[in-house]
Amino acid sequence: MDFLVALGFVFVAGLLTDLATGLGALPFFFVEDVSDRWRVGLWGLASGIMLAASGFGLLREGLAYGTPVEVGAGALAGVALVVVAHRVVEAYDFAPRDIAEGDFEKLVLIAGVLTVHSFPEGVAVGVSFADVGLEGGIPILGFSVPLLAVFITLAISIHNIPEGLAVSIPLHEQGMRRWKLVGVAVFTSLPQPIGAVIAFAFVEVARVFLPLGFGFAAGAMVFLVFHEFIPEAREAGATLPSNGTPELTAGLTAGVVGMMPLLFVV
Using the 8-state DSSP alphabet, how is residue 59 labeled?
A: I
**Distance separating alpha carbons of residues 176 and 179, to the nearest angstrom:** 9
Residue pLDDT, tens place only, 127-184: 988 877 666 677 777 777 888 888 889 888 988 888 888 878 877 877 788 888 898 8
pTM summary value: 0.82
Residue pLDDT, tens place only, 22-60: 998 888 888 888 888 988 998 899 899 889 888 888 898
- Each domain of the chain, given as residue ranges in start order, spans 3-265
**Distance separating alpha carbons of residues 99 and 77, to the nearest angstrom:** 29
* pLDDT for res 251: 92
**Distance separating alpha carbons of residues 51 and 128, to the nearest angstrom:** 15
Name the strand (E) or helix (H) holding 110: helix 104-128
